[in-house]
Amino acid sequence: MRPLYLRGGGSALLIDLSGEVPAVIHWGRDLGDASGFADASVNPVPHSFYDAPVVTELVPQASSGWRGRPALLGHRPDGTGFSPRFRTVASSQDGGDALIRLRSADESLELEVTLSMSPRGMLRMRHELINTSDLAFHLDGLNVVLPVGAAATEVVDLTGRWCREQHPQRQELRQGTWLREYRHGRTGHDSSVLTMVGTEAFSNRRGEVWATHFGYSGNRASYVEKTAAAPAMIGTGQLFSPGELELAPGASYRTPWLYAAHSTQGIDGLSEVFHDWIRARPTHPRSARPVVLNTWEAVYFDHDLETLRELARAAARLGVERFVLDDGWFRGRRSDLAGLGDWTVDERVWPGGLDPLIDEVVGQGMQFGLWVEPEMVNVDSEVIREHSDWISGPGDRLPTGWRHQQVIDLVNPDAWQHVYSQIDTLLSRYRISYLKWDQNRDLVEEGHRGAASSHRQMEASYRLFDALKRAHPDVEIESCSSGGARVDLGILERTDRVWASDCNDALERQTIQRWTQALLPPELVGTHVGPPLSHTTARTHSLSFRAITAMFGHFGIEWDIRALDQDQSAELAAAIALYQRHRGLLHSGVSVHADLSDDAYAMQGVVAVDRAEALYSFVCLRSARDELPGRIGFPGLDPRKRYRVAVVFPTVGMPFEQRNTVPWTVESVVGSGAFLGEVGLPMPILLPENGILLHVTEVAEV
C-alpha cells in the first residue's frame, strides 16, 4: 500500500503502510518531498530482543512486540481474545483526510482509524472498534496514541483545583510513564487542557513542541510514555468503570477525537493552530460577544424583583448587553440545600413569573440569560420525593454528597425526558437568549440500576445538550462546572463558551485564563470583572487591574454595580467601551505571550491577522526581582511595518511606582515592528497586582 502523507501549516504526519501494520515514520515539521523513506526506516535489532525489528505503530499492540501501554485493552467473556493481532487490510487518502482499516488475525474484530489534517496543521485522530464475532467483547480501554520527535526532552501539562484551574507543571521526560487519570465523571478542576512535550526549556515563543487534547468531558486517562526501544508516545483514552462497556456481536465503539498540534515556535505556535481550527468550526459563535452581567456575586440567592430591576438599569447605563439571572429563581431554592431538579419558577418569589424582569431587561436593550443545572438534583426536591430511584449511583445507597447534590440518572429515559421537558418548557415560555449551564459536583459513583454507567451518563448528557440545541438553535449555552471543571472540545461541540473558574480574583485569573486560552481562543472564555473584594480569596484589586484582566476574553461583570460611585462608573463604562471597540480584534487575532526573564511580569496580546493592529496588556503580578522592568518587546508584530504604541487604559490614576514619567506612556511613540519586537520599550514601574493596556496601530510611512 502507498504511504499516507498528511501535511498542513508547516507540519506533517507520515505513515508507512508497506508492512503488516501502519507505522508512524514522522510527526513534526513538514518534510517536503518524503519519497525514499521506506528503506531508511528499518530499525536494527539489539541483543536480548525480538527476532525482527519493531516499528512505531499507529495502533501499538503486544502482538507486534510493543511492550508499553497497548492501544486496545479487552477480552472475550471466557478471558480469551486479550491480545488481538491487527493487520492492515485497506487504506485511503483524500487530501488531508485518511482512513486505515485493520482486522484481527482471527477476523473477530475490526478497527478503523480516521485521520484528518487541516490546512493550518490541526491533526485529528480517532478509532472505531467493531465486534465482528458472534461473541461479546468486554472493552476495557481504547487509546489514541502518537509518537513525538526524538528532540523532545520535557513534559508540561496543567493541573489545579477549584478556583485555581490550569496551572502548569514541568518535568524532565525520562524512561517510564507519566500518567494522569481523571475520574471525576466530568473533565475535572485538575484537568490539563493540553499535554505538551517539547525541546529543553520550550516556552511561549521558543522551542519545538508536540501537544494533544482529548475532546471528551468524562473519565479519561492521558499519558506520556518513553520506553528504551521507542520514541516517546502521547496517548489518551476514556476510562471505563469495571464491566461498563461490553460490545455485543456486531456492535461498535468509537473514541472521541484526539486533537494534536506541532509547533516550532513554542506554545504560542500550538495555540495558533488550535485557535484557527476552533474558529473555523461551523458552530463557532459569529456574532459579537456581548458584554455580560451575571447576578451571582451581586445578589446570590436573594432574589427580589425591584433589586434586580435596579441592577438591570444600572447595567444598561454602563453598556451591558446580556443580563444573566443566576441560581435562586426556581422552586424551593433559597439556598443550595434544596430545589435542584425542580426547574419551574418559584411562584412565591416570582408571583408574576420571570416576565416582569425579562420585560425590564429586554426593554433596556439587553438579552436575558438564565442559570440552570440540569444534570443535578437535591434530595430535598419534588422530583426526588416522587422518583427516588432517579439518583445515579450504585443502587443500594446514595453516593457521598457534594454541595448537598446528587446526580440525576440521565441513562434512565424517563428521567432524561423529565429534565428535557422542563428546560424545553422554560426556553419555549420565556424570552431566554442564553443558558448558564452549571454542573457543581464530581460524578464518582455513576450507576444505572446498580450497574456502572459513567460512559452512558456522559453520552446521555451530550444528548440532552444536543436535543435542546436542535429545539432552540438561537439560544447560546455556557459550559460552567463549578468553574472550569468542564473545559474541553467535547463540550464545546455543544456550547458557545466556557466559564474558566469560579474565581474572579484578577491575580488568580491571570494564570487561569492564560493557560485555558492555550487551547481556546479568547472569545470562548468567560472573563468577568468581580467586586473590589474578591469573593473567593478576600484580596482587593484596583478596578483597572480587574478590567484589564477581563479584557482578554468574553468580557463581563459579576458585581453589585448599583452602588458604584461616579468615578467607578466612569472607569467601568470606559473599560466596557474599550472592549466593545476592540472585541473584533480580540476575538479574531493571534494570541501572543512574551518570554520574560522575570516572571513577576507578564506581557500578552492579540495581534490582527494582517498585523496592522494589536492590543497588549503589561501587568505586574507581584514585587519584581529588579528595580526596573527594563525593555519589554512586543511579540507578533511585522518587522517591516511601523507602529504607534499608546497606553489606552487606565486613563487616570496610573498604577506607577516611579519618580518620573516615562514619556511614551503619555504621548505615544512610533517605531518599527523590528525595533518594538526585538528591542522593545522601557516599561514603567508598576505597582504589584496592576497593569496597563497598550494599543498598537500601523502608521503610514512619511
Active site residues: 438, 502
Q: CB atoms < 10 A from the CB of 82, how many?
A: 14
Q: In terms of Cα–Cα distance, which of 622, 646, 625 is closest to 634?
A: 646
With beta carbons less than 8 A apart as the criterion, state whether 423 and 408 touch. no
| 3 state DSSP class of 299 | helix
The residue type found at 516 is: T
639: amino acid identity, one letter: P
Sequence-ordered list of residues with C-beta below 8 angstroms from that of 78, at least 6 positions apart, any chain: none
What the block records as the C-alpha cell of 603 is 506581557
Indicate the DSSP class of residue 399.
Answer: P
Q: What is the dihedral of CA 147, 152, 154, 156, to 10 degrees?
A: -50
Q: If DSSP states are collapsed to H, E and C, what string results for 497-535?
A: EEECCCCCCHHHHHHHHHHHCCCCCHHHEEEEECCCECC
E strand or H helix that includes residue 573:
helix 566-586
Spatial CA neighbour of 6 closest among 91, 90, 81: 91
Long-range contact set of residues 378-381: C-beta below 8 Å, sequence gap at least 24: 378/336, 378/337, 378/338, 378/339, 378/340, 378/341, 378/404, 378/405, 378/406, 379/404, 379/406, 380/332, 380/337, 380/338, 380/339, 380/404, 381/332, 381/338, 381/339, 381/340, 381/341, 381/342
Looking up cell 432517579 gives 390
Residues 615 and 694: their CA atoms lie apart, in Å, by 6
Instruction: Judge whether 503 and 164 are in contact, CB under 8 Å.
Output: yes
As a whole number of angstroms, the distance between CA 475 and CA 431 comes to 10
Cell representation of residue 445:
459513583
